[in-house]
Amino acid sequence: MKYVLITGSSGLVGSEAVKFFHKKNFKIIGIDNNFRKKFFGTTASVDWSKKYLEASFKNFKNYNIDISNYELLKKIFKKYKNKIKLIINCAAQPSHDWAKKNIQLDFKINAIGTLNLLDLVNRYCCKSPFIQLSTNKVYGDTPNRIKLNEKLTRYDVRKSSKFYKGISDKMSIDNSVHSFFGVSKCSADLITQEYGRNLGMHTVVFRLGCITGPAHSGAELHGFLSYLVKCNIKKKKYQIYGYKGKQVRDNIHSYDLVKAIWEFYKKPKKGAIYNLGGGRENSCSVLEAIKLIEKESKIKFNYTVSKKNRVGDHTWYITDNSKYKKDYKNWKIQKKLNFIIKEMISYEFKLNDNK
């Protein structure tokens, strides 16, 4: 029996991976201590997700430990050893704003936690692919140097721009303002590459845009579309930070991300890096997202726009997926933006009806 080890297994991507690999007949070792509740409060807790996974999938077992605790992690790797055929690191402190409040803990989870996992994979199951979920924030505020035009509802590049199809991993990670979160994730990103290129492990770093889906426990400080939908359905005021609400993000459904992980697992590389996101077809500004959600939910939004943006935040970010698509031709975006929004609204209405 093959095992997959998934950290952050009760979160958005982790829970999606549990469902996916259960169907592939893997046994699943989940690691999740619900630190999301510590970061963002009770409403962002993923305890509901853990209970659902434990009740629904007989091949799933969760360990309630912190990935920065090397000795506890070691016990798990020592128990399963090379039965672990794949490692997916979804665990993280994911917020700019929260990282600034506790810089050491942010670094401990994001950087040291990743290093712990890599070291143990190298010791106990070195032939198994290691997936590191990184972020476009490793580029700091460099994307903000791209020349943009202001349109009615969004900022955007010209069609003649080399960035029209999005940002690739050729963009430099140096000489920019990252935020402390960006730095901790950048550290994890680089050490993952080094274990691949220096020690010969099969590792990949996915530098991701906005990941989304109905299983997202969105909060104000993290989970753009999820939190936006929640505010609309609950008729709660939403605060837009800077850029007139015209800042652009591309959105990738957690299912499409897990499918990309699956393709890499089947044909792994050493020290690979890919920018991965929804691309231009799944991009929207905050204002555009508000209009799409209002249209589907039939509920008018209550929002305000602050002039101050978040430190290191991007005005415009669309992912260029072409490098990954070239290497893994079977993969494509299946969940389009309109579907994502409809699915999230439907899910949120069901949650409210059951309360």
Task: Please report, for the domain that includes residue 289, its CATH number.
Answer: 3.40.50.720
What is the structure's pLDDT at 60? Answer: 98
pLDDT at 197 exceeding the cut of 90: yes
Query: What span, in angstroms and rounded, lies between the C-alpha atoms of 163 and 174?
Result: 19
Count how many Cα atoms sit within 13 Å of the Cα of residue 300 in the half-sphere of its side chain: 1
Which of the four pLDDT bands, split at 50, 70 and 90, describes residue 350? Answer: confident
Q: Could you give the number of structural domains in the chain? A: 1
Query: β-strand 84-89 against 60-63: which pairing, if any?
Result: unpaired
- Structural domain of residue 20, as residue ranges? 3-353
Q: For the residues 65-92, what does the mean pLDDT come to?
A: 97
The region of weakest confidence among 15-24, 75-84, 281-290, 310-319 is 310-319
- 355 pLDDT more than 60: no
pLDDT band at residue 246 under the 50/70/90 scheme: very high
Instruction: State the pLDDT at residue 354.
Output: 60
pLDDT at residue 221, as a whole number: 59
Report, as an integer, the average pLDDT of 47-51.
93
Question: Which pTM does this prediction carry?
Answer: 0.95
pLDDT at 93: 92
Range ranked top by mean pLDDT from 170-184, 209-223, 340-354: 170-184
Q: How confident is the model at residue 152 (pLDDT cuts 50, 70, 90)?
A: very high
At residue 115 the predicted structure's pLDDT band, cuts being 50, 70 and 90, is: very high
Res. 123: pLDDT tops 60:
yes
Residue type, 213: G
* CA end-to-end distance (rounded Å), the chain: 40
